[in-house]
Structure 1
Amino acid sequence: MVKRSKKKKELGAPEWDLSDLYASWNDPKIDVDLANCAEEAAIFESRLKGQVKHLTEAAMVAALIDYEAILEKLYKIGNYPGLLVSSDTSNEAFKSLETKVETKITEIKNHLLFFELELFELGEAEWDNLVSHPKLADFRHFLETLRQRKPYHLSFLEERVLNEKAQTSSGALGNIFQNFVSGMAFKIKVGKETKIMSETELLNLLHHPSRNVRKSAADSFSAGLAERAGLFTDIYDYAVQDYHIENKLRGHKYPEERRNLSNEITQESVSALVSASVAGMPLAARYYALKARILGISPLYEYDRYAPLKASRRVVAYPEASKIVLDAYYSFSKKMGTVVEEFYEKNWIDAKIRKGKRGGAFCSSPSPNLHPHVFTNFQGSPRDIMTEAHELGHGAHGMLSRGQHFLDYDTPLTTAETASVFGEMLVFESLKNKASSDEERLSLLAQKIEDIIAAVFRQIAMYKFEARAHYYFREHGRISTKQLNVWWNEEQQAIFGESLVLRPEHGCWWMYVPHIYHTPFYVYSYSFGELLTLSLYAKYKAGETDFEAKYVKLLSAGGSKSPNELLSAGFGVNLSDENFWKEGLTVFESFLKEAEELAKKLGY
C-alpha cells in the first residue's frame, strides 16, 4: 500500500500573513497599483525621453527620485505573487496572477528603459560631473555601478527585446524548473510501508539515524532525478545557452563577468576565494575520516554525509526553537534581538510544511518601504533552528537597511549572506554552550562542520561545475547528461578525497540545484559570505573594539557602497588577498580540532 507521508508530531510552525501587502490573490488593488505605475511610467517617459543629457543637476536628482519611486512600487506588486506561489506551487490562481503581473511589469519597465540607456550615452566628463556633484551624493553609488555597466549596454530596441523575452527565456526556465521540482513526488520504502514524499521530506531523511533509511532516501532521490534527466538537461542546456547569448551580445569577456559586475566584485577576489577554498578541502576529508571512526562505518558513501551522531535526534517544537533564536540574537545585540523579535510578533514567517509548498528557505526583502518575509520548512532539528536563524539574519539585514533609499537598498550577493551566517553562528554557539553532555556537544559540532563544508567547499565545487559547463558550451555547444553527471561527481568528490565515496548514481544530483538554472554563478556568494562572516565572527570573539557598532553599521549600509569599500573601511579587509579567506578557514579548523578532541575523550 502506498501512503503519503504524514508528520508524526505537530510542531507549531507558523504560516505567514501577507495581508499587509494585499488582501488576497484577487484583490482589485493589484490592478489599480499596476495601472497607476503604468501611468506614472508613461508620464516619466514622455517628460524625459531624449532629454537626459540636458538635465541640470537638480533636474537629475528629481528624475532619479521619480525613477526609483516607480521601481519601488513595481517591486512591491511583483513580490506578492512570488510569495503566494512559494507557499503553494500547485495553486493555478497564484501562478496565473504571477504570470499576469510579470507581463504587466515588463510592459511598464519598457517605458523606463530609456533612462539608464541615455545615461550610458553620456561622455566621460559628464559622468565625472555626475558622480562628484554634491547634489547627487545620495545617488553616487548607484551612478558609479551603472557606469561600470556602460561598456556592456545595448541599444534601446535590443534592451527592450531582452527585457520582454526574459519572461519566456531565462525567467521561464527558472519557473519551469522550480514548479516542476516542487511538484515532484518520490516513492520510498520505509520498513514494510511505501510512502510518497516531497523533495523536502525525502532530503530530510538523509539525516535519519538509520543507514538503511538514508540509503533508501538517496536511492529514491537519484532514481527520481534520473527518470527525468532528459527534461533537467534540456532546461539546463537552454539556461546556459540563454546566458551565453546575452553575454555574447553584451560583449562580456568571460562567463562569470556579468555575475561579478552585479556582485560588485573582481575576478581577482573570486579567484582568491576559490584558491583558498580548494586549498582547505583536505580539512573536509579530515572531518569525514573522523566521522567514519565515530560511526564505525567504512567506507562512507554520499548517503552517510549527514548521518546524525547519537545525541542529535531530539525534535524541537517551534516555540522552543524561536526562543533559542531570539535569545541568541539578544545575547549579541539588543538592537538585533528587537528587530528579529518583530518577525515572530507580526507573523512575517512561513515555517510550516504543507503539500505544494516550495522546498528550501529564503528571505524576501523587496524594498525599504516594506518589511521582509521569511520562508522556511521547519521540521524540528537543530539544523532547522540554525536555518531559521540564518533567514532571520537576512530579515534583520533588510530591516536595518531600510534607512537607505531604494536604489541603494539591495545588497550584492557577496555581502547578502553576512548577517545570515552570523546569525547561524550565534545560535550554534548558544546550542553548543547549553549542551547537556559531551556527546551532544560533539553532535552539534559535527552538524556545524558539515554546514560549513556545504556552504564553502560544496558551493565552490558547484561553481567549478558551472564554470566547466559554461566554458564547454562556448566551445562545443550542447552538453550531455552523461558529461554533466561526470563533472558533478568529479568536483564534489574533490571535497572528500578518499574519506567518502560518491556512487555513480549521485552524478545526477546537480539537477535539483535551483541557482544554476536561474542565477548562474550565484553559488560562490555562499562561500564568500560564509568565510567572510567566519572571519568577522573571529574578530567578535576576540573582543574587537566596538565590534557590535561596526557590524550594525555594515548591515545598515545596505547596498550604498561596494563590498570592498564597506569591509576595508569597517574592518580593514582586503578581498583580493587569499590569506584573508584562509582566516575564515582557521575558524573552521578550530571547530574540527574541538570535535577531534571530544571524540578522543569519548573513546572514538
Structure 2
Amino acid sequence: MEKIGYSKMWNLDKVFMGGSKSSQFLNHINRIESLVNELEDSVKSLMITPLSSNENFKVVHLVESIGNISLYLSQANSFITCLLAENPKDQDAGFLRGNVGQEESRFEKQLSIVKKILTNTNEDVWKNILEAEELQEYRFILNEWRENADRYLSDEELNLISDLMGDGYHAWGHFYNDLVSSINVNIQINGKIESLSVGQAINLRSHHNEEVRKEAHYVLESTWKEKEQLFSKIINHITGFRIQVNKKRGIKSALEEPLKKNRMKEETLNTMWNVINKHKQPFSNYLKRKAELIGGSSMKAYNFWAPVTQSNQELKFEKAVALILEHFSQFGTELEGFARQAFSEGWIEAADRPNKSAIPFCAGFPLTGESRVFMTFSGTFLNVLTLVHELGHAFHNHAMKSVNGLNKRYPLSIAETASTFSEMIVFDAAMKKANSKKEQLFILDEKLKRSVMNFMNIHSRFLFEKRLYKERNEGMVSAERLNQLMEESINEAYAGSLEQPSIYSWVWTPHYYLTQSPFYNFPYTFGYLFALGIYAKAKEKGKDFEKDYLILLRDSGSMAVEDLVMEHLGEDITSEEFWEKGMELCVKDAEEFMDLTSKIVRGY
C-alpha cells in the first residue's frame, strides 16, 4: 500500500491565479465578451444574406466560433462554481457569476438565432453545405440544431426569453444553492453538540450509531419544514418558467426537452422503466432483510445508508486514495494514471469542514484539460464511492480532451455512465479482496444501495417531477401539496418498502433546482444500467477493453444514445432484452445478499 501524502484541498490557482479577485480571470471574461461581439457581427451578416449552396465557409466559421465560446464559458462557469462551493459567502465570486451570466445569455441568444437560420435554410442548400469536408465532424450536431430550433418563436420572443434566463430563471437556481449552503444545523454526536453544514449532516446518514442517524434525519426534516414556504416558491418559479417557455415553443410534454437533451427516444425511457418495475420485489426483500439485521421489521428512511455490519472503522483519506489507485490499475493504465494526476496535482477538494457546499460535483476545465472534484470526505466507504463517482466524471472529461469544442457536449444520460462504471470497478475489486463473509456483506450492501437508489429513489424523483409539472400547469403548488406528491411518489417507487420517508426530498434534492437540466433523474438510472452492460464486456476483454471504452466516451458527444450503444455494443436499447441483462446482475446481488444473511445470526 502506498504511503504518500495527498492534500484534501484543491488548487484553483493553477486555473486562474488569485481566486475571486483574479485579474487573470477578469481578462478571461473580457475575452468572452469580445468573442460574443464577433459572433453577433457574424450572425447579423447571416441574417441579412441567407445561406447559399457554396457558402459552407460561413457555417464552418460559425461552428468554430460557437465551439470556442462554449469552451471559454465552460472554463469560466466551472471556476466560479468551484469558488462558491468552497466559500458560498464569497461575494466577489457571486459578482463574477453575474458578469459571466450576462455573456452566456448573449451567447445563447445568438445560438438560438443561428439554429433558427439553419432551420429556415432550403433543404437542397443545406444538403450541399453539409457535404463540405470541413463540416463532416459536425454533421450530427448541425442536424440536431436544425431539428430542435425554436421555430415557433419570433426574434423578439427569443430575445426576451434569453434575457429572462440570465436575470431571473437561472438566478432561482443560484439562490437555491446559496440558501442551502448557508444553513447550519446542530446535532449531538457522542454527547457533544456540533454545528454542521447540510453536507456534513447528510454524511451522518451512514454513521454507525442509529441514534445519530435518526437525529440527523429529523433535525434536517425540521429545518426543511421551517423553510418549506421559501423552497416551494423557488421550485414553483423554476417549474412555472419552464412551462411558459415550453408553451411558447409549442412543446406540450414536459419530457420532450429533457429527452432531446439526452438524445434519447421516449420509447427507450419507457422500456427501461418497464423492466425496472417488473423487478422491484428482490430489492424490497433486500430492504426488509437489512431492516431485520439492524433490528427492525421494515426499513426506515434514516437507516437506509447504515452500514449493515455496524462497522466503526474509519478510512483515512490517504488510504482511500491508495485503494482507488490500486483498483483503477486493475482496469487500465490510462484510468490509473489519470487518477494519480488528479490526486497529485490538487484537483480534489475533500476537506471535512463547515461552511462549504453540501453538493458533490465534478467541474471540467476544457481549455486547460483539467477537472476539479468537490466533496466532503469524513472517512466512510460511502465517501470513497462518492469520490470514485466524481472521478469517473473527470475521466470522461479526460477522454474528451482531443474532441473539438461542440462535440464535447455529451448528454447527461451518458455523463452518468463513466461515473457509475468507475464505481463498478471499485466494487468488484473490493469484493475480490474481501477476507470474510462479513466484509463481503458490507460491500454487497453498499452495491445494493446503488441499485435501490437507481431503481426506486430515482424513480420516485421521476414520478414526482412528472406530477409536479402536471399540477404546476394549473397554477402554484403549495408546500403541503408538494409534500403529498413526494410521499406518494416515494411510496409508489419503493413499492411501499420504505418507512418514514423524507417528504421533504423535494427540498434537499438539488437536481430539481438545476435550471440547465430539467428531469435530471432518469439519466442516472440509464447510466447505471448502461454502465453495467459496459462493465460486463470489460470483464470479458480485460485490460484490452480500456481502448474501446475511451473511444465510446469520445463518441458520446456526437451520437444519439441508441446509435452509440448499437455502434459500440451492438445492442438495441429500445428492447427490454438489453435492460434485462443489466437488471439480471442487480437481482443476482440481491439474491446473494439474502443468501448470505440467511446464514448469519442477528447480532453477529
Describe the SS at the equivalent of 2:503. Answer: helix
Separation of aligned partners in 1, 2:348 and 2:527: 23
Describe the SS at the equivalent of 2:588. Answer: helix
Alignment of 1:383-398 (within 5 A): 383-398=382-397
- Paired residues of 1:368 and 1:403 also in contact (CA < 8 A): no
> 1:48 offset after TM fit, Å?
4.5
Separation of aligned partners in 2, 1:190 and 1:425: 32
Separation of aligned partners in 2, 1:422 and 1:234: 37
2:9 pairs, out of 11, 15, 20, with 15
Number of equivalenced pairs: 591
The answer for the alignment partner of 1:478 in structure 2 is 476
Describe the SS at the equivalent of 2:292. Answer: helix
> 1:526 offset after TM fit, Å?
0.4
Structure 1 residues 323 and 193, CA gap change in structure 2 (3 angstroms): closer
The answer for the alignment partner of 1:38 in structure 2 is 33
Structure 1 residues 311 and 507, CA gap change in structure 2 (3 angstroms): closer
> 1:295 offset after TM fit, Å?
2.0
Q: Which amino acid letter does the alignment assign opposite residue 215 of structure 1?
A: K
Describe the SS at the equivalent of 1:477. Answer: coil
> 1:191 offset after TM fit, Å?
5.7
Q: Does 1:268 align with 2:282?
A: no
Separation of aligned partners in 1, 2:22 and 2:190: 48
Separation of aligned partners in 1, 2:100 and 2:195: 34
The answer for the alignment partner of 1:283 in structure 2 is 282
- Paired residues of 1:88 and 1:355 also in contact (CA < 8 A): no
Q: Which deviates more from structure 2 when the two are superposed, residues 483-492 or residues 413-422?
A: 483-492
Structure 1 residues 99 and 150, CA gap change in structure 2 (3 angstroms): closer
Deviations 1:441-473 (A, max 9, x none): 101111110122113321111001100110122
- Paired residues of 2:396 and 2:553 also in contact (CA < 8 A): yes
> What percentage of aligned pairs have identical amino acids?
24
Q: Which amino acid letter does the alignment assign opposite residue 62 of structure 1?
A: H
Q: Does 1:85 align with 2:84?
A: yes
Separation of aligned partners in 1, 2:151 and 2:366: 26
The answer for the alignment partner of 1:532 in structure 2 is 530
> 1:60 offset after TM fit, Å?
2.3
Separation of aligned partners in 2, 1:480 and 1:543: 53
Separation of aligned partners in 2, 1:496 and 1:243: 28
- Paired residues of 2:196 and 2:354 also in contact (CA < 8 A): no
* TM-score, scaled relative to structure 2: 0.93
> 1:15 offset after TM fit, Å?
1.2
- Paired residues of 2:400 and 2:553 also in contact (CA < 8 A): yes
Structure 1 residues 192 and 368, CA gap change in structure 2 (3 angstroms): closer
> 1:359 offset after TM fit, Å?
1.2
* TM-score, scaled relative to structure 1: 0.93
Separation of aligned partners in 1, 2:553 and 2:107: 32
Separation of aligned partners in 2, 1:109 and 1:139: 19
Q: Which deviates more from structure 2 when the two are superposed, residues 518-527 or residues 155-164?
A: 155-164
The runs of 5 or more residues in structure 2 that have no matched partner are none
Separation of aligned partners in 1, 2:262 and 2:355: 32
Separation of aligned partners in 2, 1:153 and 1:327: 54
- Paired residues of 2:75 and 2:367 also in contact (CA < 8 A): no
- Paired residues of 2:331 and 2:543 also in contact (CA < 8 A): no
Q: Which deviates more from structure 2 when the two are superposed, residues 307-316 or residues 378-387?
A: 307-316
Structure 1 residues 108 and 422, CA gap change in structure 2 (3 angstroms): closer
Describe the SS at the equivalent of 2:297. Answer: coil
The answer for the alignment partner of 1:424 in structure 2 is 423
> 1:253 offset after TM fit, Å?
2.2
Structure 1 residues 427 and 150, CA gap change in structure 2 (3 angstroms): same
Structure 1 residues 96 and 585, CA gap change in structure 2 (3 angstroms): same
Structure 1 residues 304 and 13, CA gap change in structure 2 (3 angstroms): farther
Q: Which amino acid letter does the alignment assign opposite residue 374 of structure 1?
A: V
1:488 pairs, out of 486, 489, 492, with 486
The answer for the alignment partner of 1:257 in structure 2 is 256
Structure 1 residues 471 and 323, CA gap change in structure 2 (3 angstroms): same
Separation of aligned partners in 1, 2:133 and 2:431: 50
Describe the SS at the equivalent of 1:327. Answer: helix
> 1:175 offset after TM fit, Å?
0.7
Q: Which amino acid letter does the alignment assign opposite residue 154 of structure 1?
A: L
Structure 1 residues 286 and 116, CA gap change in structure 2 (3 angstroms): same
The answer for the alignment partner of 2:205 in structure 1 is 206
> 1:73 offset after TM fit, Å?
2.1
**Cα RMSD (Å):** 2.2
Q: Does 1:129 align with 2:128?
A: yes
The answer for the alignment partner of 1:450 in structure 2 is 449
- Paired residues of 2:413 and 2:523 also in contact (CA < 8 A): yes
The runs of 5 or more residues in structure 1 that have no matched partner are 1-10
